[in-house]
Chains A and B, each alone.
Chain A
Amino acid sequence: MRFKLKKSYVEDLRLFEYRSSLMWYLALLAFLAVFPFFAGTYWVYNFMLAGIYSIVALGLNILTGYTGQISLGHAAFYAIGAYTTGFLTTKLGCTFWLALPLAGMAAALIGLIVGIPALRLTGIYLAIATMGFAFIIDQVILEWKYVTNGTNGLIVDRPTLGPISFNSDQAYYYVILLFVVLFVWITKNFERSPTGRAFIAVRDSEVAAQTMGISLAKVKTTAFAISAFYTGFAGGLFAPLINFIGPDNFSIMESINFIVIIIVGGIGSVHGSIFGAIFMTFLSEIIRLGKDVLPEAMQRMVGFQGAVYGLILMAFILFEPLGLYGRWLKIRFLFEVFPLYRRDTFRKKRKFYRSERSR
């Protein structure tokens, strides 16, 4: 067990509690920085995808994990971000570096508009409402051909910055890495700020949050807007990654994919978002490769991927509700207290007492 003697309140505001953890994260960053030099394009591409999913997961976690508002419509924000970037760069000739924040803002604005009616809904009803919103956006993409080219889709090029071209996978990788780090940092900042605490307050007890002077309407719409900003921004990075965006990229399956990412990774944690994103990116690769060894009939089955996702989701909810991050914490704890670890340490305590919540 490590004990740290804290001598000032500033120490509680630091991002890294121990000097050693800072070192480990720097080592990880150094590894990620040199990664494209020795890894093949296949790995680099998948890492980029995992990076984009990480940003989405961080955003969705702000809404679902921290604030406790479920959303099954995040593919729509993702699509708004992707199409905003695509439209601005290809049709209006706007530079990618301006289109990217605008993509986030467009999604945030729509998020704000969606957030207001969502104030009256909770739980499953909110899930259905946000899903309905995703279907609406789906239809808009198909019909608003001036912006989206309908089913023909948009071809989006990789960006350039002055003389530097990010056309190769290796180069674009660094753009994504930069933004992943930036969004992780921003999320950690929210965690230690009053707004982040207000998110958690609204999730844990709405009635108590109100007596603290927290306006539920304001906090929930803020959460929606921030979450949509992250997701829209990620969508903006996604469009040049795959070069071509069409309505198929933003189906309901993608929304479910996002939810699975945060549940598998760990609800309400930054680590969890990233673990989940990496896990799910490589899972779909494993499913794709695994199909080759399966019998002929199963290879041609349509819903195979969805079925595997469903099984994994159920397994996690049943056996590890805290997700991969929870498992990580347990393993780390095992090593910290090595001979003294007991299985019961993490056994769920019985709830003798439950509060009645008047929402």
Chain B
Amino acid sequence: MAYFKITDLTKRFGGVLALEGVDMEVEKGQVYAIIGPNGAGKTTLFNCVSRVYSPDEGAILFKDKDLLKLRPHQIARQGIARTFQNIELFTNATVLDNIFLGRYMYKKSSVLSEAFFTPWVKDQELKARRKVEEIIDFLDLQAYRDERISSLSFGIQKIVELGRALALDPELLLLDEPSSGLNPEESQDLCFWIEDIKEDLGITIMLVEHDMRFVMQVSDAITALDFGRVIAQGHPREVQGDPEVIKAYLGEENGATP
């Protein structure tokens, strides 16, 4: 059985078909990219996986478990973390608190014990803190620990969001346009981090991306979407050369190549 499998996924918004019979299989340990022009349904696909949206038809199986039967907050407990295209950090909290929130689902303390901050709660917090610090070290965020999110630049915010997702200790990480808004240098750093996340942490990654150079560099397999349909699937080189993909990106006439 496949590690992560989407079958025949369809999502309609009124009369618009955002996703139409999408099939896809991700193997453990892969970096899997989803590409496509604007409005192709890439983010909608992610939103279906993280249960922000409910698809109209189809199934999403993660380790043979049907994700569509779960509520949005239960997805994280299955080992799936995600980031957002338009950063969704907790703007009025510090970097530290944001990453700490990634450890929320591991808490065992009750509200009552937290009210009195018992030594046990303190111990739990210190353990969580060590984990948070590991992530801060991994992503080089030491300088921003106590900064409020609202005072950080866009590039740093993106990295904090990645850190927050990693704090969940996920098995599968969904990155929605991780390199958008980053400068070339930051984008290159991200490439290395994605490799490290894959190799050292053993996390399977799915990402939505526009930057083809970035995609070619990091991904093991690609699905190309256009108007909610899968138009090509497979190895990055094959997908890049696929006439359907070129048509979707560049238009039909003359068959111009990039």
B86 touches A355 (CB 8 A): yes
Q: List 23 A-B contacts (CB under 8 A).
A: A9-B126, A9-B130, A10-B126, A192-B125, A193-B121, A194-B100, A194-B125, A197-B97, A197-B101, A201-B90, A201-B93, A207-B52, A207-B84, A207-B88, A211-B50, A211-B72, A211-B82, A213-B75, A213-B168, A215-B71, A268-B92, A353-B86, A353-B154
Among B105, B116, B117, B165, the most chain A Cβ lie within 10 Å of the Cβ of B117
Main SS class of interface, B: helix
Which residue from chain A places its CB closest to the CB of B77 in the assembled complex?
Answer: A213
Give 5 new A-B contacts, CB below 8 A, not counting A192-B125, A205-B91.
A211-B75, A213-B168, A226-B111, A353-B86, A358-B52
Q: Indicate whether A204 sits within 8 Å of B86 (C-beta atoms), given known contacts A193-B121, A193-B125, A197-B101.
A: no
Complex CA gap A268/B68 in Å reads 36
B73 touches A9 (CB 8 A): no
Complex CA gap A196/B100 in Å reads 11
B116 touches A200 (CB 8 A): no
Q: What distance in Å separates the Cβ of B50 from its nearest Cβ neighbour in chain A?
A: 6
B121 touches A197 (CB 8 A): no
Q: What distance in Å separates the Cβ of B220 from its nearest Cβ neighbour in chain A?
A: 24
Is A22 positioned at the interface, with any CB of B under 8 Å from its CB?
A: no
A214 touches B122 (CB 8 A): no
B126 touches A13 (CB 8 A): yes
A215 touches B100 (CB 8 A): no
Is B87 positioned at the interface, with any CB of A under 8 Å from its CB?
A: yes
Q: What distance in Å separates the Cβ of A12 from its nearest Cβ neighbour in chain B?
A: 7
Is B22 positioned at the interface, with any CB of A under 8 Å from its CB?
A: no
Which residue from chain B places its CB closest to the CB of A222 in the assembled complex?
Answer: B111
B114 touches A195 (CB 8 A): yes
B129 touches A12 (CB 8 A): yes
A166-190 residues at the B interface, CB under 8 angstroms: 186, 189-190
Is A210 positioned at the interface, with any CB of B under 8 Å from its CB?
A: yes
A216 touches B90 (CB 8 A): no
Which residue from chain A places its CB closest to the CB of B151 in the assembled complex?
Answer: A349
Is B213 positioned at the interface, with any CB of A under 8 Å from its CB?
A: no
Is B104 positioned at the interface, with any CB of A under 8 Å from its CB?
A: yes
Q: Indicate whether A355 sits within 8 Å of B115 (C-beta atoms), given known contacts A212-B164, A349-B150.
A: no
B105 touches A197 (CB 8 A): no
A312-339 residues at the B interface, CB under 8 angstroms: none
A193 touches B84 (CB 8 A): no
Q: Which of A189, A204, A208, A349 contacts B117 (CB 8 A)?
A: A189
Q: Mark B52-80, 1 if CB is under 8 A from A, else 0.
A: 10000000000000000001111111000
